[in-house]
Amino acid sequence: MPSIRRFTRPVLAVTVAVAAATVGSAVAITVAAPASQAATCNGYVGLTFDDGPTPGNTQNLLNALRSAGLRATFFDEGQNAAPNPSLVQATASAGMWIGNHSWDHPHMTQLSTAQMNTEIGNTQQTLQQATGAAPKLFRPPYGETNATLKSVEAQYGLTEIIWDVDSQDWNGASTSAIVQANARLTNGQIILMHDWPANTVAAIPQIASGLASRNLCAGMISPSTGRAVAPTGGGNPPPSSPTPTVRPTTPPPTSPPPGGSGCRVTSTVSAWNNGLTNNLTITNTGGSAVTNWRLTFTLPSGQTITSGWSATYSPTSGQVTATNAGYNSTIAPNSSTAIGYQATHTGNAAAPTGFALNGVSCGS
């Protein structure tokens, strides 16, 4: 495990072939090698990224993960989250889980109990303010822990998460070395990576292909066991991946988009042999807020939703209703929210059609 703290945070951007959500009429469809999030999984591993958010790189990493159909846990530092709440929100909206990594990455075991409380408590508050939910996972910097630190973590309801495999990306590991480190993961295990290295972003497509070749999927880290498991809606409520659920029989009142062209929906589909992910961007183009939104659309024949993020989906095929996740229930004028789902298909990986927001048809 790393014993030396890096003293600089290189802000590096790389060009990665990803299918990013665009504002326009085109639907981007990328057909790639089978993604790690295939419908059949023989095990789950925990991909984790420490030290973010990093302006100039976090969004590249999120784009790469979403394009590859991967989900991960981001252990953010309070000092980086506080000035970049939009990046924390983007992480949650992309379907990732967010954990606490202290305020400024000290050697926690060298601190007093009061200092430990400050490091953890201030970061909890900052991340909760950004996402609407307090983290349930804590990763101590350098993996250093003791009984005092564990007792402070417990006061905040946090589960301590270390790692099984160190990618060494913090130490200048090459892209191929990072991919090889991920290849050592077995069911339930967790790998340490970081939010800021460009080589880590570049490694994501190969990491996805490698996991798929071993029938492993990128899962969530269970707050109960501290191991990687299938996404079940645990962890942070905002970025959770709940199984499709039936929406309430008496939904809360909604406000429709003003006018017949007050909304726009774009799809970014990443497909493989029998599965796909679709990242949807819902934009309110009207002049007033849309509240308690529900988005309806029709899936192509043969597609069935197996999981989703930032919304609940019911039913799982045919005409589907995506209902807001609570924390993202309001879309301000000229603003967007991102949701998405994973689905199986029988050969037709096209994007859905017939989008309507609170009963009003949307453009694309």
Residues pairing with 331 in the sheet: 290
In a domain, 12, yes or no: no
Q: How far apart are CA 218 and CA 210, in angstroms?
A: 11
224 and 267 housed in the same domain: no
The answer, yes or no, to whether residue 242 has pLDDT greater than 50, is: no
Q: How far apart are CA 138 and CA 153, in angstroms?
A: 7
Task: Please state whether the predicted TM-score (pTM) of the whole model is above 0.75.
Answer: no
The answer to whether residues 189 and 218 touch, using CB atoms and an 8 Å cutoff, is no
185 and 300 housed in the same domain: no
Between 22-26, 93-97, 239-243, the lowest mean confidence (pLDDT) is in 22-26
In a domain, 34, yes or no: no
65 and 167 housed in the same domain: yes
Name the residue type at position 317: S
DSSP alpha helices (H): ranges in the chain?
58-68, 78-81, 85-93, 113-131, 147-155, 175-182, 198-213
For 141-192, write each residue's pLDDT tens digit: 999 999 999 999 999 999 999 999 999 999 999 999 999 999 999 999 999 9
In a domain, 275, yes or no: yes
pLDDT reported for residue 312: 86
Q: What is the mean pLDDT of residues 325-340?
A: 84
Residues in the chain, total: 364
Q: How far apart are CA 253 and CA 273, in angstroms?
A: 41
67 and 122 housed in the same domain: yes
In a domain, 283, yes or no: yes
50 and 181 housed in the same domain: yes
Q: How far apart are CA 121 and CA 5, in angstroms?
A: 22
The answer, yes or no, to whether residue 19 has pLDDT greater than 60, is: no
Q: What is the mean pLDDT of residues 126-150?
A: 95
Q: What is the mean pLDDT of residues 265-269?
A: 90
Question: Which token pair is 134?
Answer: 């307090």
147 and 222 housed in the same domain: yes
In a domain, 211, yes or no: yes
287 and 207 housed in the same domain: no
DSSP, collapsed to helix, strand or coil, labels residue 300 as coil
In a domain, 13, yes or no: no
107 and 216 housed in the same domain: yes
Closest CA to 219 of 195, 201, 237, 241: 241
327 and 219 housed in the same domain: no
Full domain range(s) for residue 213: 41-229
Q: Is 143 left (phi over 0), alpha (psi -120 to 50) or beta?
A: left
> Would you give the end-to-end CA distance of the chain in angstroms?
48
pLDDT reported for residue 253: 52
In a domain, 145, yes or no: yes
98 and 150 housed in the same domain: yes
In a domain, 11, yes or no: no
β-strand 97-100 against 294-298: which pairing, if any? unpaired
The answer, yes or no, to whether residue 9 has pLDDT greater than 90, is: no
Dump the DSSP string for 231-290: --S-S-TTT--PPP-PPPSSPPP--PPSSTT-EEEEEEEEE-SSEEEEEEEEEE-SSS-E
66 and 148 housed in the same domain: yes
Work out how many domains the chain is built from and give that number: 2
* Domain boundary residue, one of 174, 206, 229: 229
CATH number at residue 151: 3.20.20.370
Name the residue type at position 5: R
191 and 293 housed in the same domain: no
